[in-house]
Structure 1
């Protein structure tokens, strides 16, 4: 009996480490939008399903939408750096000044198609802005679809029509752009827009079409202005990043799964997931009878000219910080052009 008991004990001690090793690593994934949002359903959930399948269950996600881990959207970067969350999706524009170099992709009239521009952003971030991701492992970096203006009561068809309108700005450069166009910018994260529109705190918002259904902005506005042409009026950069220490703690096989689902092509894939939601947002606005206006080419030229000082100002700011702002701007644009061919 003693021999049998001893044998069972030895067997148990041998099996326990294997059992513990087989337990899945659960990643806490946080973001700021509701679970019905395209970001949640179109890319975060599929990405989590992919890493689970490729790791044969070694990696799993516990997703926390709508800031369920607490805090506000601008605090997501701090949460992932501090390990409150293991992975977050967020906008660098919510934390002005923390991504000064890669911010070049948020300048007006610089981005083209979303997939091409997202590939360019990944390359640029890796080569020229890697220091901005200290404490984080980038999984994907991409740009949104073109921003449009969504207005409560004003059917704007000219630059002059924006004068004095209070418009939600998505970022530091978005604020500068709106001011250059004659509007009164009001900075706020996406979750605050609906209430601000409802209470007439703002007259409209600058954002991509895909955001409208999840935030009900199409129900609170009646007029929409698109800026046509090869270059977007504005686009925001977005990042999907992992706590660096969490990544470093993974065994080699699980690191390989994360690596295989990170990078330039993952960035392009993520950006592509928002094409259909953009089209859906535009369609829903039209189904409500809202007016969608595309600016004429000569009018777009006026908006481009008015936005010129925003780019010039960015170049001066970066140069004053000891970097070659003109060179960075030219390199970013060249990468965008390279992938747009």
Structure 2
């Protein structure tokens, strides 16, 4: 009986969504990746669709489609107009994005919501002149929570990471892995489970949400943390520029109120929510452990971050950006959020 009720509820929801799409004057195509149950797909996109419909009085809606392109190809998918909106992880395209690495640096204190809002404000104040999202409309920036080490074997000391084969997403996480003496393996997030299950990697650096979203509780039951996390992941939500320009002036103005800092805040809050769900999964799954760095290892990690931070600051400064001021601005905004 419960199954029947659940089926009827889901069917009703799909029917309402279908009717809304039929009634709207414009239906945007959202290209997405990661499992459908991931927070971006299950929480963020439905919220964005709701906000779009509300802001435009139902004239504009959106629907999610999967499998349109691999995660590293999402930017070009939107640039070419094959879909209207997507989310990208900047680290999947090394060399294409540099200024975005500022938010990935270790050392920031605060949750993903604070980081995402600080990121958007820093973009408007410092990073926009780099024009790294040229060709598309940037509608939000977000970060996941602090990056942690999830591994098949228990890690309780920082020096145990040296020699490990770790899946690293790119960007600053790659610099972190190198500083710790790990060998980096680069595969998109949807391939993490099979990479670990096949023993091609000993572990992965991901936020706590991965414990549930990517079923790390099965293949990487042990989690090791350092204060503030090893890094943060940098993401953008982008829209095809021609699609946006093709909307009425009224709808464009309405959507500008949804996009930007507002959507960045919603996105960051979503990451915090699924981090909390990941932590609950860890706590409730037998054999999963959470291991925090000792004060000695925390101090050692602090020393290791210096060269990583200086390297990124130099890279960003080479783009004509006051990198130190931007980093200080992000840290201050997060601290006061």
State the TM-score, normalizing by the size of structure 2. Answer: 0.87
Match for residue 296 of structure 2? Answer: 298
| Contact residue 224 and residue 292 of structure 2 kept, 8 A | yes
* Partner secondary structure for residue 133 of structure 1: coil
Alignment of 1:207-246 (within 5 A): 207-228=206-227, 231-246=228-243
Say yes or no: does 1:268 pair with 2:268.
Answer: no
Decide which structure has the larger Cα Rg and report it.
1
Alignment of 1:101-250 (within 5 A): 101-110=99-108, 112-130=110-128, 131-153=131-153, 155-228=154-227, 231-250=228-247
| Contact residue 111 and residue 235 of structure 1 kept, 8 A | no
Deviation at 1:318, TM superposition (A): 3.7
Deviations 1:207-245 (A, max 9, x none): 0111232321111112111223xx332111111111111
Match for residue 62 of structure 1? Answer: 63
Deviation at 1:129, TM superposition (A): 2.7
Bigger drift between 85-94 and 100-109 goes to 100-109
Match for residue 9 of structure 2? Answer: none
Aligned length: 311
Counterpart-to-counterpart distance in 2, 1:323 and 1:50: 36
Say yes or no: does 1:335 pair with 2:334.
Answer: no
Bigger drift between 305-314 and 75-84 goes to 305-314
Deviations 1:17-72 (A, max 9, x none): xxxxx85211010111121111111111111122113322211112113xx21x21
Bigger drift between 309-318 and 201-210 goes to 309-318
Distance change in 2, residues 1:158/1:264 (3 Å): same
Bigger drift between 197-206 and 81-90 goes to 81-90
* Partner secondary structure for residue 28 of structure 1: strand
| Contact residue 140 and residue 241 of structure 1 kept, 8 A | yes
* Partner secondary structure for residue 239 of structure 2: strand
Unaligned runs of 5+ in 1: 1-21
Counterpart-to-counterpart distance in 1, 2:45 and 2:53: 12
Counterpart-to-counterpart distance in 2, 1:24 and 1:109: 46
Counterpart-to-counterpart distance in 2, 1:96 and 1:204: 21
Match for residue 88 of structure 2? Answer: 90
| Contact residue 111 and residue 272 of structure 2 kept, 8 A | no
Counterpart-to-counterpart distance in 2, 1:111 and 1:144: 13
RMSD: 1.7
* Partner secondary structure for residue 157 of structure 1: coil
Counterpart-to-counterpart distance in 1, 2:319 and 2:276: 42
